[in-house]
Amino acid sequence: MSVGSRYLPPRRPLPEFDPAGLDLADPYPVYHRYRAAGPVHPVRHPGPGAGPTSWYVFGYAEVARTLARREFGRANPATGRAAAPPPGYPVLRQVVENWLVFLDPPRHTRLRTLVSPALGAGPVAALGPRIQRIARQLVAPLADRPPGEPVDLVAEFAAPLPLLVIAGVLGIPEELHGWFRDRALVLQRAGSTRGDRDAAGTTAVERAAERAADELTVFFRRELAARRGAGRDRGDLLSALVRAADERTSLTPEEQSATCVPLLTAGHETTTGLLGKAALALLHRPELRAVLRADPALLPGAVDEFLRRDPPVQMITRWAHRDTLLAGHPVRRGDRLVLVLGAANRDPERFPDPDRLDVRREHVRHCAFGLGVHYCAGAGLARAEAEAGLAALLDGLPALAPGARPAVEVRYAPDWVFHGPERLTVVA
Ligand code: HEM
The domain locations on the chain are 1-68+314-367, 83-308+372-427
Distance between Cα 265 and ligand 1 center (Å): 10
Average pLDDT over every residue of 218-234 = 87
Q: How far is CA 368 from the centre of its chain?
A: 8
What does DSSP assign to residue 203? B
> Quick one: which of 98, 232, 118 has its CA closest to 169?
118
Q: How far is CA 373 from the centre of its chain?
A: 16
Average pLDDT over every residue of 171-185 = 86
316 lines ligand 1 (CB under 6 A): yes
> Quick one: which of 116, 123, 135 has its CA closest to 235?
123
In this prediction, residue 125 carries a pLDDT of 94
Band (pLDDT 50/70/90 cuts) for residue 51 is low
Q: Whose CA is nearest to atom 20 of ligand 1?
A: 376
In this prediction, residue 363 carries a pLDDT of 74
State which ligand 1 atom lies nearest to the alpha carbon of 371: 15
276 lines ligand 1 (CB under 6 A): no
Q: Whose CA is nearest to atom 13 of ligand 1?
A: 370
39-43, 57-61, 81-85, 385-389 — which is least confidently predicted?
81-85
State which ligand 1 atom lies nearest to the alpha carbon of 375: 12
In this prediction, residue 259 carries a pLDDT of 81
Average pLDDT over every residue of 195-210 = 67
400 lines ligand 1 (CB under 6 A): no
CATH 3.30.43.20 fits 1-68+314-367, yes or no: yes
In this prediction, residue 4 carries a pLDDT of 44
- Which of residues 341 and 8 earns the better pLDDT score? 341
CB 191 within 8 A of CB 265: yes
In this prediction, residue 16 carries a pLDDT of 93
State which ligand 1 atom lies nearest to the alpha carbon of 274: 1
b/e 208-242 (16+ beta carbons within 10 angstroms → b): bbbebbbbbbebbbebbeebbeeeeeeebbbbbbb
Task: Decide if pLDDT at 195 tops 50.
Answer: no
Task: Decide if pLDDT at 63 tops 60.
Answer: yes
Task: Decide if pLDDT at 217 tops 50.
Answer: yes
Single-letter code of the amino acid located at 265: T
In this prediction, residue 113 carries a pLDDT of 85
- Which of residues 199 and 217 earns the better pLDDT score? 217
In this prediction, residue 252 carries a pLDDT of 74
Ligand 1 binding pocket mutation candidate from 369, 376, 418 (most atoms within 8 A of CB):
376
For 126, other C-beta atoms within 10 Å of its C-beta total: 10
Task: Decide if pLDDT at 215 tops 60.
Answer: yes
376 lines ligand 1 (CB under 6 A): yes
Q: CA-CA-CA-CA torsion for 415, 418, 419, 425, nearest 10 degrees?
A: -100
Average pLDDT over every residue of 109-135 = 90
In this prediction, residue 323 carries a pLDDT of 96
In this prediction, residue 32 carries a pLDDT of 97
CATH 3.50.50.60 fits 83-308+372-427, yes or no: no
83 lines ligand 1 (CB under 6 A): no
Single-letter code of the amino acid located at 137: Q
- 328 torsion bin: left (phi>0), alpha (psi -120 to 50), beta (else): left
In this prediction, residue 263 carries a pLDDT of 83
Q: What is the pLDDT of residues 238-295, one digit of tens each?
A: 888 888 777 766 677 777 787 888 888 788 889 999 999 999 999 999 999 999 999 9
Q: What is the mean pLDDT of the chain?
A: 89
How far is 268 from 158, CA to CA, in rounded Å? 9
Average pLDDT over every residue of 404-412 = 94
Average pLDDT over every residue of 131-142 = 96
- Which of residues 98 and 319 earns the better pLDDT score? 319
Instruction: Return all residues near 204 (Cβ < 8 A) that are at least 6 apart.
Output: 196, 198
Q: What strands, in cross-sheet order, belong to the sheet with 336-340?
A: 40-44, 53-57, 336-340, 315-320, 72-73
In this prediction, residue 100 carries a pLDDT of 86
What does DSSP assign to residue 147? T
Task: Decide if pLDDT at 344 tops 80.
Answer: yes
Q: Whose CA is nearest to atom 6 of ligand 1?
A: 369
In this prediction, residue 48 carries a pLDDT of 62
